Structure formats: structure tokens, C-alpha cells
Structure 1
Amino acid sequence: MSQYGNSTLGMVLMLLLLGSLTLHATRTQLSQGMVLVADTQQYHQDFAQAQAALQWGLMQSWPAASGWQCQQQSLHQWLSCLLYTEEGNALLSGQDEKSELRLWQWVSPRSHRLHPQAHGWIDYCPLSKPEHCQPQEGSAGL
């Protein structure tokens, strides 16, 4: 009779062990999921800020100049930079100063105003050399 009690107790202990292992695996998976959600949320915030900086840059007055020129919007900490190309177009970039995420827009300059080109938005730098994609330090603050 006592053998039946021991096997029942053994089964209960086995179920408890399996349950705690399952709970541990679920907690680990949830922790990893929370990190992924936080990273995704941060990316969406950075993307929205970069889009806003790009739109803000479209509204600014830009003098015709060679090389990168940048303007900062200090309230929202946006940075928008412009590079005129030989073809008469220009490349506008926008980003939040606290983020590395930068968005790009091909634009047509007309009378110190920028007009976005159709299908000109891009999420990577379209210039052939990566070193040409970085505005030089000190070019901000026009």
C-alpha cells in the first residue's frame, strides 16, 4: 500500500518539476520578447523623428552652396542636411540628433525652396561612396 503512495508522490513531483521548467522557459521567452518590443518601439520613434526632420528640412530656405550644409531645429533636436549635386538636384537628409537613423529625400531646388521629387524618398544613402553620406562636423547651424 505504501508503494502506491510513493509512486503518486513521485508523479506529483515530476509534474511540479515539468511545470517549473515550463514557467522558466516562458519567462525567458517573455524577457527576450520585451527587449525586442522595446527595440522596435525605439526604432519607430527614431523613424518618426527622422521623417519629421526631413519634412522640417523641406520647409527651410537653403542657399546654393557646394558641399553639405546643415540646419538644426533645437526644440525637437532635429538635424536636416542638404547636398547639391551636379545634375541640378539635391539630396536632403533628416534625423533626430540623438539617433543614428537618417532618412533621405531627392529634392529639386527652386528659388531657395526645396520640392520633393516623386518617388525620391529613400531610407539609405544613395551616394556611391559612403564617406560622401556624412555631413562634415561644423556644417550645422546655417
Structure 2
Amino acid sequence: MKTDFKQIYTSSGFSTILMVIILMVVGLVLLIGFNLLIASWQKNILIETQYYQQFNQASSSLTWAITQNWQKPKANWYCMTESTYQLKACIKKSLLRIDKYVLVRGEAKDFYLYTLAHFDNNRLIVEKGHWLDYCPEKRAIYCE
């Protein structure tokens, strides 16, 4: 019996090359998918890091504001800044009808934290539980 070796090698070589190409395409698709997933994670981490930095900066501004001597609060915002740590805090009379509160705002770029305080002898007195991450006034325009 005579076999044609030329015919056997040519047909099996094509299927091997085809399998290698398919495996390379599958591997490339997986690598691209993982790359997109990692890029998405990196973006989320960057956004969260920026949020926490702004939050901490605004929180530090509120803490710093409590230690400062202020003018008597008026209907408009009065702000003080500290250049070393780039802190900025503002106060104004609150429109809330109870307890004659002063609204204190800690700022970090476009991020604001608020607290309600009492004004006594040019100092702010903050009670526990009055920290807010939103403006307590009835309309948002009163916080601008």
C-alpha cells in the first residue's frame, strides 16, 4: 500500500495554522477587554481620589473656621482664607427661623460642606450633629 505523504502534511498544516490564528484572536480580544476594564477602574479611582481630597479640604476649612475670629455675620457671605493650606471658609446669617444660627461653609474648589453654628464674641460655637454635606436653607439660591 502506497500512501501520499505530501497530501497528509499539507492538510494538517493548514488546520494547525488556523488554530494558532484563532487562539491569537481570542487572546487579543481578552487583552483588549482587560485593558478596557483596567482603564475604567483607573478612572473610577481617580474620581474617588479627587472627591476625598476635596472633601478633606472642605472639612479642614470648616475646622479652621471654628478657630477664627469673625465679624458679626450678615445676610451675605463673608469669607476668610488661609494661604498656607489653601483653606477657605465663609459665614452668613442663616434664614432658619430657629435659634439664630450662623451658616458656615467650608470650600474646596467647587465642593462645599456646611455646618450650623452660634455666634458669640466673634467666635463660632458649633454643636455636635450640625455638620451637613448640603445647604440647610430652603432654597439653593440662598447658599450661593
TM-score with structure 1 setting the length: 0.86
Residue-by-residue CA offset, 1:88-116 (whole Å, 9 max, x unaligned) = 211111012xx101101111222221121
CA RMSD of aligned residues (A): 1.4
Relative contact order, CA 8 A, sep 6+: which one is greater? 1
Mapping for residues 1-142 of structure 1, pairs under 5 Å:
1=8, 2-67=10-75, 68-85=77-94, 87-96=99-108, 99-134=109-144
Please report how far the alpha carbon of residue 27 of structure 1 lies from its aligned counterpart in structure 2 after TM superposition. 0.7
Larger radius of gyration: 2
Structure 1 residue 32: Cα displacement: 1.8
Paired residues in the alignment total 132
Give % identity. 26
State the Cα distance separating 1:5 from its structure 2 match.
2.1
The alpha-carbon deviation at position 37 of structure 1 amounts to 0.9
Q: Distance in 2 between matches of 1:65 and 1:22?
A: 61
Unaligned stretches of 5+ in structure 2? 1-7
Moved more, 48-57 or 108-117: 108-117
Contact 2:73 / 2:102 at 8 angstroms: preserved in 1?
Answer: no
CA distance in 2, matches of 1:6, 1:106: 78
Deviation sequence 1:4-54 (CA, Å, 0-9, x none): 221122111101100001101111111121111111111111111111111
Corresponding residue number in structure 1 for 2:3? none
